[in-house]
Chain A
Amino acid sequence: MTTPLLDIQNVTMKFGGLTAVRDVSFTVQKKDLVAVIGPNGAGKTTLFNMITGIYEPTIGSVVLDGLPLNKKMASEITDLGIARTFQNIRLFNNLSVLDNIKIARHTRIKYSFFDGIFKTKKYRAEEKMIEEESIKLLALFNLDSKKDLLAKNLPYGAQRKLEMARALATKPKLLLLDEPAAGMNPTETKELSELIHFIREEFQIAVILIEHDMRLVMEIAEKIFVLDYGNLIASGSAKDVQNNPKVVEAYLGAEI
């Protein structure tokens, strides 16, 4: 068996007396497209925060390509190849759409600080390349015509797309999407599901998706993990999960 791309080993996250995630383990292989579902407050975002180094797990570890991520800073983890979007969109609002993408290239920059200050040849050559690649990436998301708009002035759906494009600009092996369909109408959601498929094929990366929209999840995820009150209560294909009594209970219970 090959090493999995992402190996989550018995992670627990406690906030004071509250256990947001309890002893969760699962693996993700290269180019997998999986989903994490569960009622509000189940610990899904907290799981993403542990994977990306925003929080360090209280117990357990996250391993990327055989490399444990404990004690690594969020910025180092980005460098190692994990990128994400946020449930509440976090763009660089007062910067242009293009600059949002350029910032994401940060860890891949080769020219030095002084190259930048004195605008050396090396700086100009690399910046030109970054600009071209960034515009190419924006074009994949139909955002190239909006490159000079301030990020905050984009419509909501375009902001979500820009956040995904920005995450991809870090050149990740694994992309984490936190409720990308939140606030979208059915047409936009359909478009999104195609976009996620396209991303995986185009960039050859694994995707983990947190989503409430069951239709979207059932349609695109090859494997689903279900969290409830911080516990992993089920995992498997869409069908397995749908028929699992624990899952039904968690969802119905949450709605009463």
Chain B
Amino acid sequence: MDYYLQILTNVGIFITLTLSLNLINGYCGQFSLGHAGFWGVGAYASAVYGVYFALPIDPALNMAIALSIGFVAAALCGLLIGIPCLRLKGDYLAIATIGFSEILRIIIMNTESIGGPRGFTNIPRWSNSWWVWGIALAVTLFMLNLKRSAHGRAIISIREDEIAAETMGVNLFRYKLFSFIVGAGIAGMAGSLVAHDQQFLHPNNFSFMWSVCILVMVILGGQGSVSGSIVGAVILTILPEILKLIGSNVSTWRVSIYAALMIILMLTRPQGIFGPHELFEKKRLKGVA
């Protein structure tokens, strides 16, 4: 029973993570490959609070504080990287964000007070299913409502055509930075949930491979689609567990399966399951594949 509950919790956390990258990658069209870095910053920052600075108050209050710390810490990193990098186009941003997340991992590896390469232990367990699914639901609503607001439309127009967006009055840099900071911050909250759920963190949990995994979840579901991110996160979180039941060694298979899935997807349905659209939107919009 505990095992299934843990999978369910992981699904909720990955829904939040996938949605947060979807804001940057799917809505705004910016190619970030260091998303696990923001996740890690949030996780470690709120774990530091939990281990060294926790207040003697109700765990629920402490969890709320930890989530805020996770959000702010990751959002600040998003700001620091975003300001110089968002003026770069496409591939440069991807490379800069990989660099950031790897540097971050190495810093954590070499910081004894947060466990270094042994991992960070004894983190208080403040999280539970309510927190995980509450956050997933809140982020889902946030993303859906954003899409239907003027600010969300501005962000999406950048993905569609930067020059046209600019000519429609959209301040490119401001909206790119906004997406980047908020996307990073939400990933930080997902990190906080992991820290106070597993009570243990290891720098390799936030490696480049995980950035790729989250990206694959976004792309599988459809860049820009909230429904897609949810479905992508569910499928790709549960799939390795099914593989484990079959008896394979998950950590070796996961990457190969993802790669194979990506190739099949790109050949058969490059826009992902939903494209940029939502589950119930297709009936309204005409001519959507």
- Chain A interfacial positions (CB closer than 8 Å to B): 52, 54, 73-75, 78-79, 83-84, 86, 90-96, 99, 102-107, 109, 111, 113, 115-119, 123, 127, 130, 148-150, 153, 166, 170
Taken together as a complex, chains A and B put the C-alpha atoms of A113 and B275 apart, in Å, by: 26
Q: Report B180 CB to chain A, min CB distance, Å.
A: 15
Q: Report A237 CB to chain B, min CB distance, Å.
A: 31
Contacts of A166 in B (CB 8 A): 168
* Interface contact B166-A106, CB-CB below 8 Å: no
Given the contacts A91-B161, A153-B287, A104 and B168 also touching, CB distance less than 8 Å: yes
Kindly identify which residue among A93, A109, A116, A149 contacts B145, using a CB–CB cutoff of 8 Å.
Answer: A116
* Interface contact B160-A106, CB-CB below 8 Å: no
* Interface contact A103-B154, CB-CB below 8 Å: yes
* Interface contact A106-B153, CB-CB below 8 Å: yes
Kindly identify which residue among B151, B153, B161, B166 contacts A74, using a CB–CB cutoff of 8 Å.
Answer: B166
> In the complex, which residues 242-289 of chain B have their Cβ closer than 8 Å to any Cβ of chain A?
275-276, 284-288
Taken together as a complex, chains A and B put the C-alpha atoms of A91 and B145 apart, in Å, by: 23
Kindly identify which residue among B149, B151, B164, B287 contacts A92, using a CB–CB cutoff of 8 Å.
Answer: B164
* Interface contact A148-B285, CB-CB below 8 Å: yes
Contacts of A102 in B (CB 8 A): 150, 153
Does B113 belong to the interface (CB within 8 Å)? Answer: no
Does B142 belong to the interface (CB within 8 Å)? Answer: yes
Taken together as a complex, chains A and B put the C-alpha atoms of A75 and B175 apart, in Å, by: 12
* Interface contact B163-A90, CB-CB below 8 Å: yes
Q: Nearest B residue to A90 by beta-carbon distance? A: B164
* Interface contact A116-B161, CB-CB below 8 Å: no
Kindly identify which residue among A83, A93, A104, A150 contacts B285, using a CB–CB cutoff of 8 Å.
Answer: A150
* Interface contact A92-B161, CB-CB below 8 Å: yes
Q: Report A132 CB to chain B, min CB distance, Å.
A: 15
Given the contacts A90-B161, A103-B157, A111-B150, A119 and B168 also touching, CB distance less than 8 Å: no
Kindly identify which residue among B170, B224, B275, B288 contacts A106, using a CB–CB cutoff of 8 Å.
Answer: B170
Given the contacts A96-B285, A106-B154, A150-B288, A117 and B167 also touching, CB distance less than 8 Å: no
* Interface contact A94-B160, CB-CB below 8 Å: yes
* Interface contact B168-A106, CB-CB below 8 Å: yes
Kindly identify which residue among A75, A115, A116 contacts B171, using a CB–CB cutoff of 8 Å.
Answer: A75
Task: Report, as a range, how many residues of chain B touch the other chain.
Answer: 20 to 34
Q: Which 6 A-B pairs have the closest CB atoms?
A: A116-B149, A107-B169, A92-B160, A78-B169, A90-B164, A153-B287
Interface flags, B165-203, vs A, CB<8A=1, else 0 = 111111110000000000000000000000000000000
Q: Report A202 CB to chain B, min CB distance, Å.
A: 20
Contacts of B164 in A (CB 8 A): 86, 90-92
Given contacts A91-B160, A103-B168, A106-B170, 10 further A-B contacts (CB under 8 A): A52-B167, A73-B166, A90-B161, A90-B163, A91-B164, A92-B160, A95-B156, A103-B170, A116-B146, A116-B150
Contacts of B172 in A (CB 8 A): 75
Q: Report A9 CB to chain B, min CB distance, Å.
A: 23
Given the contacts A91-B161, A93-B160, A153-B287, A106 and B150 also touching, CB distance less than 8 Å: yes
* Interface contact A123-B170, CB-CB below 8 Å: no
* Interface contact A109-B150, CB-CB below 8 Å: yes
Q: Nearest A residue to B162 by beta-carbon distance? A: A90
Does B99 belong to the interface (CB within 8 Å)? Answer: no
Does B152 belong to the interface (CB within 8 Å)? Answer: yes
Taken together as a complex, chains A and B put the C-alpha atoms of A166 and B163 apart, in Å, by: 14
Contacts of A75 in B (CB 8 A): 166-172
Given the contacts A78-B169, A83-B167, A149 and B287 also touching, CB distance less than 8 Å: yes
Taken together as a complex, chains A and B put the C-alpha atoms of A170 and B167 apart, in Å, by: 9
Taken together as a complex, chains A and B put the C-alpha atoms of A73 and B287 apart, in Å, by: 36
Contacts of B146 in A (CB 8 A): 116-117
Residue of B146, B154, B164, B284 ringed by the most chain A CB atoms within 10 A? B164
Taken together as a complex, chains A and B put the C-alpha atoms of A113 and B148 apart, in Å, by: 11
Contacts of B156 in A (CB 8 A): 92, 95
Q: Nearest B residue to A74 by beta-carbon distance? A: B166
Contacts of A123 in B (CB 8 A): 149
Residue of B146, B168, B170, B287 ringed by the most chain A CB atoms within 10 A? B168
* Interface contact B275-A94, CB-CB below 8 Å: yes
